[in-house]
Amino acid sequence: MENRKSFAAFSDAARYLPGGVNSPVRAFGGVDRDPLFIAGAKGSRIFDLDGHEYIDYVGSWGPMILGHAHPAVVAAIHKAADKGASFGAPTLAETELAARIVGAFGSIEKLRLLSSGTEAVMTAIRLARAYTGRDKIVKMAGCYHGHSDSLLVAAGSGLAEQGTAASPGVPEALANLTVVIPYNDIGAVAQAFERHPGRIAAVLVEPVAANMGVVAPEPGYLESLRQLCTDNGTVLIFDEVITGFRVAFGGAQERYGVTADLTCLGKIVGGGLPLAVCGGRAEIMDLLAPLGRVYQAGTLSGNPIATAAAIATLDILAEDRVYRELESAAANLEAGLAQAAAEAGVPLTINRVGSILSCFFTNRPVRNFDDVRATDVAAFKRFFSHMLDRGIYLAPSAYEAMFLSSAHTKQDIDRTVEAARASFQAVATR
């Protein structure tokens, strides 16, 4: 499959943009190919500059749960845009959207609308530190929470010890305030509290890890996190930027029955436009200015076009059938991929929660970041290329998820499985 126009566009972009992209994973560096440049999308399909059509399982990295260019969402965007793109002043739509979110998440009493998941998590951490009067944060290795300084941190030299900066430009003094421990290891969390008594402001976690590929919480893990935070007076922050309105209407908190003190939402909550949420218990949220002294502000927060897209999206997702149909489609895809890999003799572990799933090239369970890093990434790269050449657009990284939308049909699933069958065979015979 030739991609001459995309290649030329990438070369041109590299003259003006670092690496030719505005977000690193878009450069396809994780799959040893040049990136596709996208001309448009509709439903479950995405189209590149060279006119090729693909079944899309990236979905803008999760937001497009209704598929691309859903008519109701597009209509809402057009109607809002006709009235003006931004006001920098309150609108009724902000309150309307907030009421819908509070109704969906029982743990959210008040919220602040923001523009990105990174901003939401940054705000949650600032609130947790102000509320507790403490400075340390616990996060899990492999969970990504945006690119703010406190969170671009790698695991330190010992279990439950302070982290080290994972990016140039992050001061070690700031990285030292973050403790990095394995996901799904409740003993490591307990040890962190023992080693840093009275200093942990927040435990920050993706309730379903989805930035190292999909890794589900083991039974009792989230419940134990909740109890440890309660016992130690620590704020539990759920980063539901991916899982919010994805694994259930009320996110992972609805699916697993565990509530957080603060919740971060993004992606789906904006209906495909830049919008995010930091919300939670009123006594914590009321620390934000103008009521409290914790400062946060944003010129485009609650943008009228984004709130219109969000309301239109959430109104459709509020229909129970959407999640039943997504669950069924994802289960069929999982079963088909597993069978195709088995037929080819390719070791494969599929982790799925609702309509997100990951294919790990290993015959072992994958429950944390060390397990993910032990998988056969080279096999994934070959699989990715074969699937792309057969018209299936997967995330260009072994550490990402596949996202289904309500626009994916049975025919899409069947075609994907057939492409996977041939691709697994190609991987096996190399």
Residues identified as active-site: 144, 239, 267
3-class SS at 366?
Answer: coil
CB contact at 8 A, 416 and 336: yes
Q: Which amino acid is at 92?
A: L
CB contact at 8 A, 58 and 267: no
Task: State both tokens at 280.
Answer: 């939670």
Q: Compute the distance between CA of residue 62 and CA of residue 65 in angstroms, rounded to an integer.
A: 7
Q: Which of 18, 6, 28, 19 is nearest to 395 (CA)?
A: 28
3-class SS at 402?
Answer: strand
* Strand ranges in 58-166 using DSSP code E only, listed in sequence order: 110-114, 136-140, 153-154, 164-165
Task: State both tokens at 343.
Answer: 């037929």
Q: Phi and psi dihedrals of 414, rounded to 5?
A: -60, -45
Cα-Cα-Cα-Cα dihedral sign, residues 217, 252, 204, 24:
positive
Q: Compute the distance between CA of residue 34 and CA of residue 27 in angstroms, rounded to an integer.
A: 7
Cα 395 to the center of its chain, rounded Å: 12
